[in-house]
Structure 1
């Protein structure tokens, strides 16, 4: 497997596998989302919201019932030619007004979790009062009317009343049954005493319709209950996300402050350490070269050589830490000029050639001829190539091979590719290797351990050049690293502009 990593900012030297730090937040969000998708709160948890929606529906449709009652009374008076039906209309309107008054009082007073049950019983009682009025209407009779026409009138009126009640009052269960149970009892009683087929048919039809509308109302109620549950879970999820975001922002702010303090500390300590270290390197080199005279004990000369090598290694480490701290602090400045990647690559190959020969490693090169210069920082690009070449030689086994290529990219830029046939890097360790101070398992087991800053510094330098860094590796097959500079940094040669011959005005005038 291969993995490409591109750089875009100076902060790309941090570990790219930090998602584990947000695991508690991700877990909380995932659990809330699962509750939102699978769980349903009991109806008692939303009594206040259910009653509030019922009260709002009653008040919005307060004018529908009186209008319908007046129309039904007028039509009944026309059919029966009896004005006593207006007494029923007056009674029904009174009950409806009482129910509306109760709903307005419930809206003005705050319904609490304790008072929700009391209000629910009171509102159901109001619906029962209206149901009793419709029961009185259902028991009306007209001896002077056509029985079929009067039964049709009563049936149509009751069915419309049932539809309106089910449409507006489904949030108060079981308001449909409470309202029209007296009507069913009244129709059944009247049909039992009269034994007329029309009354029996009306009773059966209306009873079936009441059961059907009760079922529909219950389904609507359950659907609205789920909507309320979803809204509640959504609010909880948003609240948790806001808390997680605030915690993440605070943690990021603290991390940035700590990172800045760390960079300043490293820069200060690196400068403080380099002063005595230069003295150690100088004196150890003088002792090793026996400038002041021969050392009588040869062991002292070996010790002086060890001191010099260890000091040189420590100085390289301090320089890398200093570069890292400058990059993180945003103070790494580029001294750009026209440079040749071919020349830099040849110089760096020459610098690591001696070390490669010591391990019997062959370095082959494939350079694109006549590459134009690029606009970049020579010191930085030399450090990039040298770091990549040193890593390739370091992790390539005895008798291995390192292949260096320099050429054009498909987009018109230039690239440097360094490929080895070493042990490779496991795919899961690539983000670790690319992080600051990160080392893979192979590097840890190797006798030549580094600081873990080489590749992060390479990424940051290429990022400062608006370039790209790609790492491809297969376990037990080798590793290839590619440093890319964009096309806009390539300095193309521009042909000279031929000037047209100029004829002087004097000669033109003489002509």
Structure 2
């Protein structure tokens, strides 16, 4: 049973056994980052995405090629009366159907990265079939319409087909070249065999157009890859932010659990620590005051005084730690009431006066009298003043001076200021002094070291009162601690409300 309880407690403090739930996401992010950093000009990681985009483009524009082929066949039959255009149209539409068949099959299978090269070859084969169909178009003739007229028709059709193919296949690298290489070969063959100037001109125009469009489609392909790369980087950044947020949430959860475990420990140990301390303090005080009889050895009496002082120091330390723990846990509740800040200040001076006189330190009072009361927790504010006064007396050299002021702020609030002419604090050490358990170099060297919790507790109590704490110090010039309470904490006295009903009743009685 105890082993199980111990394991549970350890898991509350730090749960190191839990595997991080975002390991898979982290691995994916790292793999994608490496792929982006080590990829070529056309990263292989985007081949699948580019192929899927080509498939979508082919399926969405499936009707364009049949419409174009039908229109070309109709014009060709009209110009030449050659029914061979019908056979060419059927063959071209069949080749286009092969490409669409591959596209629909690939869409159903959801292409994996390993099968991308296979499917790419299949689609290029479909484009080669389309290229052979366009090469067959070059072989069509028109005996009745003349070479120039029909050559113009063929050239126009091939340029339109070249442009349409370039727009539809730029997502598939080298597809345009695979499609129109047979066309250029057919035109070159016709030029060589017939020696016709028309075919020679068409060969040159189509070749130059093909070269230009191949370069343009390659740039468009690279631009598409770049867009995919940017999109992937954005997704990776989002994934990294999600991982970082999740890790931050996990760290915060563990910190909250550790803080809860600390609070539970302090709450449970407060009674266990205070009970024996009270006994030690009580019995040591009885022995030092010799209530039950004199101590035969004077050294024992000195020892009991040491025990009593050490016990009080330890009890103060425990109380400060518990106060800070309650403040951090949000369980430090204020018991507010109408209190005079000047009265509390005078009481606190009386409590530290004995220690100040022992060091021949003079405490000057500069209080504005007649100030209204403030709505505060008296115990907490007394603790603030005692902490600041004790620090001033503690770190002021023998024969020094402490000035205690209480007055109005420019905004209508009230403040108290405690200034000493002690050794001061270097400016770079002020943030350290204001942090929990933080101590400056002067305090470390001093014989009267504290716990480093006084000022953090002062800051927290003033924050609970919606106030402000300012610490000013210069080396070898002294330190000034200022506690400010806002104007809404100041209680204003209101004039008595006159009883306006009394004269009315009086007039009625006279009537």
Is TM more than 0.5 here? yes
Do 1:427 and 1:474's aligned partners in 2 also have CA atoms closer than 8 Å? no
Residues 246 and 501 from structure 1, CA distance in 2 versus in 1: closer, same or farther, beyond 3 angstroms?
closer
SS, match of residue 114 in structure 2: coil
Corresponding position of 1:39: 37
Alignment of 1:74-473 (within 5 A): 74-145=74-145, 147-193=147-193, 198-356=198-356, 363=363, 367-368=367-368, 370-396=370-396, 402-409=402-409, 411-419=411-419, 422-424=423-425, 427=428, 430=431, 432-471=432-471
How far, CA to CA, are the matches of 1:446 and 1:163 in structure 2?
89
**1:63 to 2:63 alignment:** yes
How far, CA to CA, are the matches of 2:31 and 2:478 in structure 1?
44
1:104 CA drift (Å) = 0.9
1:353 CA drift (Å) = 4.4
Do 2:131 and 2:178's aligned partners in 1 also have CA atoms closer than 8 Å? yes
How far, CA to CA, are the matches of 1:62 and 1:175 in structure 2?
17
Residues 501 and 267 from structure 1, CA distance in 2 versus in 1: closer, same or farther, beyond 3 angstroms?
closer
For residues 58-87 of structure 1, the C-alpha deviation after alignment (integer angstroms, 9 at most, x for no partner) is 111100111111122223333344343232
Supply the RMSD in Å over aligned alpha carbons: 3.7
Residues 202 and 418 from structure 1, CA distance in 2 versus in 1: closer, same or farther, beyond 3 angstroms?
farther
Residues 509 and 456 from structure 1, CA distance in 2 versus in 1: closer, same or farther, beyond 3 angstroms?
closer
How far, CA to CA, are the matches of 2:107 and 2:436 in structure 1?
63
Moved more, 87-96 or 348-357: 348-357
How far, CA to CA, are the matches of 1:462 and 1:206 in structure 2?
86
How far, CA to CA, are the matches of 1:83 and 1:498 in structure 2?
116
For residues 138-197 of structure 1, the C-alpha deviation after alignment (integer angstroms, 9 at most, x for no partner) is 454445435554444333322322222222222211111111222222333334455555
Moved more, 172-181 or 69-78: 69-78
Moved more, 275-284 or 360-369: 360-369
Number of residues paired by the alignment? 484
How far, CA to CA, are the matches of 2:358 and 2:328 in structure 1?
36
How far, CA to CA, are the matches of 1:285 and 1:60 in structure 2?
96
1:44 CA drift (Å) = 2.0
How far, CA to CA, are the matches of 1:291 and 1:450 in structure 2?
32
Residues 211 and 219 from structure 1, CA distance in 2 versus in 1: closer, same or farther, beyond 3 angstroms?
same
Do 1:437 and 1:452's aligned partners in 2 also have CA atoms closer than 8 Å? yes
1:127 CA drift (Å) = 0.8
Do 1:420 and 1:480's aligned partners in 2 also have CA atoms closer than 8 Å? yes
How far, CA to CA, are the matches of 1:183 and 1:138 in structure 2?
7
Do 2:340 and 2:374's aligned partners in 1 also have CA atoms closer than 8 Å? yes
Higher RCO (C-alpha 8 Å, min separation 6): 1
Do 2:361 and 2:399's aligned partners in 1 also have CA atoms closer than 8 Å? yes
How far, CA to CA, are the matches of 2:413 and 2:510 in structure 1?
55
How far, CA to CA, are the matches of 1:156 and 1:427 in structure 2?
82
How far, CA to CA, are the matches of 2:339 and 2:241 in structure 1?
51
Corresponding position of 1:12: none
Residues 207 and 360 from structure 1, CA distance in 2 versus in 1: closer, same or farther, beyond 3 angstroms?
farther
Residues 245 and 197 from structure 1, CA distance in 2 versus in 1: closer, same or farther, beyond 3 angstroms?
same
How far, CA to CA, are the matches of 1:122 and 1:67 in structure 2?
24
SS, match of residue 484 in structure 2: strand
1:322 CA drift (Å) = 2.7
Do 1:323 and 1:332's aligned partners in 2 also have CA atoms closer than 8 Å? yes
How far, CA to CA, are the matches of 1:316 and 1:52 in structure 2?
73
For residues 176-222 of structure 1, the C-alpha deviation after alignment (integer angstroms, 9 at most, x for no partner) is 11112222223333344555555444433332332232223222322
Tell me the TM-score normalised to structure 2 length: 0.81
SS, match of residue 129 in structure 2: helix
How far, CA to CA, are the matches of 1:212 and 1:393 in structure 2?
90
How far, CA to CA, are the matches of 1:320 and 1:234 in structure 2?
50
Tell me the TM-score normalised to structure 1 length: 0.81
1:397 CA drift (Å) = 5.3
How far, CA to CA, are the matches of 2:352 and 2:507 in structure 1?
68
Unaligned regions of 5+ residues in structure 1, if any? 1-24
1:37 CA drift (Å) = 12
1:116 CA drift (Å) = 1.6
For residues 11-56 of structure 1, the C-alpha deviation after alignment (integer angstroms, 9 at most, x for no partner) is xxxxxxxxxxxxxx9xx89x97994997364532233322222111
Moved more, 389-398 or 473-482: 473-482
Moved more, 194-203 or 452-461: 194-203
SS, match of residue 337 in structure 1: strand
How far, CA to CA, are the matches of 1:333 and 1:377 in structure 2?
9
